Structure 1
Amino acid sequence: MRKGAISRDGVLKALTEYDELGQDGFLSKYGYKPATGYVLLHEERTYDSKAIAGVAHKFDQGRALKPDELSGGRSHAARWLARLGFTIRSSRSPDWTRDEIILACDLAMANGWKRLEFDDPRVIELSALLQAMPIHPEELRNELFRNPNGVARKTVDITCRHPSYTGKPTNGNVLDVEVMNDFLARPTEMVKVALRIRQGIVAGEFQELSPEAEEEDDFSAPEGRLLLGRHRSRERNKTLRKKKIDAALSQGRQLACESCGFDFEQIYGDRGRGYIECHHVVPLHEAGEGRTRLSDLALICANCHRMIHRRAPWPTPGELRASIEQKHADDRRAAAALARPRRAADDQMPNP
């Protein structure tokens, strides 16, 4: 059956009916179950978002939607209601990201890989810091989002996976173990990573980062999304890129990839003149808030740039160049080995 648009007035009428019948009566009347993903907040009360959207349809289009005619997620009922100006919140906390786990691991390591309690001042401080992180949108945060209890619980999930722990581990996730292993393998580097993340959050440095960084699934960085986003933002800075290109040209250098030698103008003519990408060569855990120097940037083609970012640890442009040269040398040797039997066979053939 056809579904039409719902209005703010229709939603308000559905809220009124919800208040009159109560949650159980309202859900029972229209066949809905309690919300498991998102709730609607209105005048300090919480409502089942999917049911409200479905019943609002009755006031605007003449019939209530059945539960199987819409989903309650961000792509359907929750989005409808948010577009009408209503406040939507997740009914459960979002999964922990690598950036958040890095900070929790940093705290756990500082505590000797022992769990921390919810009333520990360090846990309370980290809770406030995580709530200031610009990773999870407001609609995904509920009233328990990264509260001290949740942070303390995460330190339990992490520390019970430490090699020295002899008890039964909790049901943490794979990412907890991955990040903890990073700290065990490279403690000094990962402490610096945590410090850079903390400094960036406090300074508000990550607030304006492009969301593209989190969408680039083919990019890998154990330092987390925020530092990667800042790194990519610096690389995309048009002013910095132009200054780097101008400096290279003024020195009589060719605008060619420092890894593979690709020259855009040589291949594309006028269209490629003056074009090349820049790669920020300073490791993420070393790159702070300071000004980016031109010497921090390398001229790189798009293909090599993507190969550098594809898998951690990132090679330097020079290391990638050596890898390319080694691959070419191996290919030449393989081709020569194949050609030798062919030449030998040709030599043995009798002349006509």
Structure 2
Amino acid sequence: MEKGAISRDDVLKTMQEYDELGGPAFLSLYGFKAARKFLILHDGKEYDSKAIAAVAHKHQHGRPLTWQELSGGVGHAVDWLKREGFKIGVSRSPKWTRDELILACDVVAGNGWQGLPASDPRIEELSELLQLLGAYPPEERAAEYRNHNGAAYKTLNIASFHPGYQGTPTNGGQLDREVLQDFLERPAEMARAAALLRDGLRSGTLQPALPEGDDTDDDEVSAPEGRVLYRRHRTRERNKALRAKKIAAVLKKGGTLACEVCDFDFSAVYGERGQGYIECHHVVPLHEAGEGTTRLADLALICSNCHRMIHRCAPWPTPAELRALVQEQARVAAATVPRPRPEVADTYPLAT
């Protein structure tokens, strides 16, 4: 649908027809199914965005569009409706993020790995925290977004995947299982992460979450403690003043700015452009160390590649552990390098 193909008045007329016929009859008449994602929110009512946009076409062009004729699909129609001033909502709540599941799983763990009813005060608290977390912007939240019933049902999902559960697992997602497994394998660590999330959200010291995949700078990072705490961890690592102090302390002791893992030296390779450059890695993750003053001893100077490799898979190795891995790989590579074949003359000397 191209902008200008229909007007705002065309949409309002179509909404009136929708109200007169009723939603099911309107959709049946024009061959549309109920919206699976986007709704138009107008005067306290909800309308199927794709059907409304397609049918509105008839007021200026003589006939409605079919669902197949909407060029650009529902997303294009929604963008056009937004430009015309219509408020768009979603028909169902989006998938749960790891940060949200950490909070929910911690509640289930505290209840002996049993799900909780919507009336439980702990569910009320969980629902409030999920609203504070803000894993999705308001326009992507359904009316029942992370309400008491939704939060309670998620605790039942998680509980049903526990190894000790006797019934049939519910229709939770793969991420539910992964977060549960993290809690079973590292209970103290994950409980600490949940506590830091709760405290940070209540105090306002933690920034709202981003859905998985939206933080393109860290798209290949494994962060079992969630994106919120990981982003806070990275903020500490990128603290320019702290980095400068660490570099100054190393140089004062006669050290160099070579990677503590692989010995890469930016100035040796890039000359003046690489002079004084190195990244800082906080050796102790935030979910283990907690908020507090960072000591210079907690920081390691490493190159970009090694820093990426540390954060790529959980649990994160220490710089010393990754250095041992690099050295072992070098030894293996050296041992497998083929030796040059001896010359025939050397192997079989000619008779004299």
What's the TM-score, normalizing by structure 1? 0.86
Kept in 2: contact 1:108–1:158 (CA 8 A): yes
Deviation digits for residues 38-81 of structure 1, max 9, x if unmatched? Answer: 111112111111123334555677865431233665x4223333
Deviation at 1:283, TM superposition (A): 1.7
Alignment-derived partner of residue 232 in structure 1? 234
Report the residue type matching 2:155 in the other structure. T
- CA shift for structure 1 position 88: 1.7
**CA distance in structure 1 between the partners assigned to 2:113 and 2:287 by the alignment:** 22
* Whole-angstrom distance in 2 between the partners of 1:242 and 1:213: 30
Q: Which runs of 5+ in 2 are unaligned?
A: none
In 2, Cα distance between equivalents of 1:319 and 1:291: 25
Report the AA paired with residue 124 of structure 1.
E
**What corresponds to 2:306 in structure 1?**
304
Q: Post-superposition shift, 1:3?
A: 3.1
1:116 is displaced (CA, Å) by 1.2
What is the aligned partner in structure 1 of residue 162 from structure 2? 162
CA distance in 2, matches of 1:321, 1:203: 38
Give me the whole-angstrom Cα distance separating, in 1, the residues matched to 2:85 and 2:252: 54
In the TM superposition, residue 253 of structure 1 has moved relative to its aligned partner by 2.8
Match of residue 215 from structure 2: 214
Q: Take 2:210 and 2:145, find their aligned partners in 1: how far apart are those partners?
A: 23
Match for residue 143 of structure 1?
143
Match of 1:92 in 2: 92
Aligned residue in 1 for 2:68: 68
Aligned with residue 275 of structure 2, among 273, 280, 287: 273
State the 1:160 CA deviation: 2.0
CA distance in 1, matches of 2:37, 2:329: 50
Work out the CA distance in 1 between the residues paired with 2:69 and 2:240: 47
Whether the aligned pair in 2 keeps the contact of 1:220 and 1:312 (CA below 8 Å) is: yes
Output the CA distance in 1 between the equivalents of 2:302 and 2:2: 51
Tell me the SS of whatever aligns to 2:215: helix
Query: 2:193 corresponds to which residue?
Result: 193
Gaps of 5+ in 1: none
SS at match of 1:146: coil
Q: Is the 8 A contact 1:260 1:324 kept in 2?
A: yes
Question: Could you tell which deviates more after superposition, 22-31 or 88-97?
Answer: 22-31
Stretch of structure 1 that moved more, 221-230 or 201-210: 201-210
**Aligned counterpart, 2:286:** 284
Percent identity of paired positions between Structure 1 and Structure 2:
56
Return the letter of the residue paired with 2:291: E
Q: Is the 8 A contact 1:213 1:228 kept in 2?
A: no
Alpha-carbon distance in 2 for matches of 1:25, 1:289: 57
* Cα distance in 1 for residues equivalent to 2:108 and 2:207: 26
CA contact (8 A) 2:41 2:89 kept: yes
Deviation track 1:293-324 (CA, whole Å, cap 9, x = no partner) reads 44333222111111111111111112111111
Offset at residue 8 of structure 1 (A): 4.6
Aligned CA-pair RMSD? 2.9
Give the stretch that moved more between structures: 203-212 or 224-233: 203-212
Change (3 A) 1:56 1:206: farther
Give the superposition deviation at 1:156: 1.5
Q: Distance in 2 between matches of 1:77 and 1:292?
A: 50
- Structure 1 CA distance, aligned partners of 2:279 and 2:266? 10
CA positional deviation for 1:166: 1.8
Q: Aligned partner of 2:157: which letter?
A: D
Tell which deviates more after alignment, 13-22 or 192-201.
13-22
Mark the CA change 1:327 to 1:50 in structure 2 (over 3 Å): closer, same or farther: same
Q: Deviations over 1:71-113 (max 9, x none)?
A: 665x422333334443222111111122222111111111111
